Amino acid sequence: MPVHPETNGTNQEELRFWVNGKYHVVPNPDPSMTLSEWLRSQRGLTGTKVMCGEGGCGCCVVMVTHPDPANGGTLSYTVNSCLCPLCSVEGWTITTVEGLGGQKAGFHPIQRRLADFNGSQCGYCSPGMVVNMYGLLSKKPQPSQQEVENHFDGHICRCTGYRPILDAMKSFSADADPEKGGCIDIEDLTKHLCPTTGEVCNGAAVNGVNGTCSLSLRCGQHGVSWYRPTTLEQLYSLLEQHETGQERYKLVCGNTAAGDRDDMTK
C-alpha cells in the first residue's frame, strides 16, 4: 500500500526475490520503481522491453511464481512488469526471456520455433511473446489453438505481422498439424537448444525455489512509503492511521492500471 506522507526515509526493509535462478536482496527499495525498470537498469536484463508503460502491448511480460496463501502451494503466471511495483515481488521467483535461453546459453524450444516460423521480424515484441507462451505452457502443457490465440490478446506486434507469430505459437497446441510442430513435452519446457547443433544444451540456470512471505514490508523513499501487511489486523491498523489525516493512499492488488481516482486515493 503506497502512502504519500512526509517521510524521513528511515523506514528500511530488505526485499528478497529470485530472478532467473539468482537470489537478490534489495535494501530499502524505491516504492515508485517498477519491476521492469529494476530489471533493465539494475540487472541489465534488457530483453524485457518497455514501450506503452500501461500494460497494453505485452513487450514487458515476465513469468512469476509466488506462494499461494489460499492453499499453501504456488501460483505461476505472466505479468506486465511495467505495471508491477518492485516492492510487490517479495518472495517471488521471476523469469525473464534471458532466463529461458539465448545465443550463449542455448535457445529455448519456444525461441527456436519462433525463429523457424520467421516470426521474430524486428524482434522488439519477441521476448514478451516467448515468455507469454512459456507461461501458458507452464500452466497448460496441451492448449488448443484457440486458447493460444486468446492468450496473446494483450500483445502487440509493431510490424503488424501476427500470422507467423501465431503460426509458431499455435504449433505447440494439441490440435496443431503434427507436421508443423506439435506439443512440447513438459519435461522439455526448461531445456535449451544449442544454436549450433539444435540439440539440448547444458547450462542456463533454472529458477530457484521461492520461500514464503511471512514478514511485513515497510520502506520509504522520495516522500512515498510502501507497506505490505500480512494480516487483516495490520491492514486495518494502517487504514486507521492514515484515513484520518490528509495523506493520500492507494491499495494495490495486481495494479492492472495506474491513476489518481477519487475512490482509490485519499
User: Which CATH number is 124's domain given?
Assistant: 1.10.150.120
Q: Is 217 within a domain?
A: yes
At 232 the pLDDT is 81
Question: Binning pLDDT at 50, 70 and 90, where does residue 86 land?
Answer: very high
Q: What is the dihedral of CA 231, 234, 238, 239, to 10 degrees?
A: 60
Q: Give yes or no for a contact between 222 and 110, defined as CB atoms under 8 angstroms apart.
A: no
Q: Is 155 within a domain?
A: yes
* Count of CB atoms situated within 10 Å of the CB of 28: 16
Query: Residue 174's domain spans which residues?
Result: 109-180
Radius of gyration of the chain (CA): 20
Are residues 139 and 91 part of one domain?
no
216 or 114: which leads in pLDDT: 114
132 or 260: which leads in pLDDT: 132
Residue 237, all three cell numbers = 491498523
d(CA 131, CA 122): 17
Residue 110, all three cell numbers = 519456444
Q: Is 34 within a domain?
A: yes
Cell numbers 533493465 correspond to 40
Residue 183, all three cell numbers = 506439443
Q: Give yes or no for a contact between 26 and 43, defined as CB atoms under 8 angstroms apart.
A: no
Residue 254's Cβ-count burial label (10 Å; 0-12, 13-18, 19+) is exposed
Are residues 163 and 79 part of one domain?
no
Q: Is 140 within a domain?
A: yes
d(CA 84, CA 17): 14
Are residues 145 and 81 part of one domain?
no
At 244 the pLDDT is 65
Mean pLDDT value across residues 226-234: 77
Structural domain count, the chain: 2
Are residues 119 and 32 part of one domain?
no
Q: Is 256 within a domain?
A: no
Residue 157, all three cell numbers = 506486434
At 207 the pLDDT is 43
Domain CATH code at residue 67: 3.10.20.30
217 or 35: which leads in pLDDT: 35
Are residues 36 and 61 part of one domain?
yes
100 pLDDT more than 90: yes
Are residues 126 and 86 part of one domain?
no
Are residues 147 and 71 part of one domain?
no
Q: Is 120 within a domain?
A: yes
Residue 245's Cβ-count burial label (10 Å; 0-12, 13-18, 19+) is exposed
Are residues 86 and 41 part of one domain?
yes
d(CA 108, CA 195): 10
Per-residue pLDDT reduced to its tens digit, 15-59: 899 999 899 999 888 888 999 999 999 999 999 999 988 888 999
pLDDT mean across residues, the chain: 79
Q: Is 203 within a domain?
A: no
pTM equals 0.75
Are residues 67 and 8 part of one domain?
yes
Per-residue pLDDT reduced to its tens digit, 131-148: 999 999 999 999 999 999
d(CA 131, CA 58): 10
Domain stop point among 180, 196, 216: 180
Give the single-character DSSP code of 207: P
d(CA 211, CA 161): 41
Are residues 113 and 94 part of one domain?
no
Per-residue pLDDT reduced to its tens digit, 164-190: 999 999 999 988 887 777 667 666 677
Strand-pair category, 93-95 with 14-19: parallel
Are residues 132 and 76 part of one domain?
no
Are residues 160 and 219 part of one domain?
no
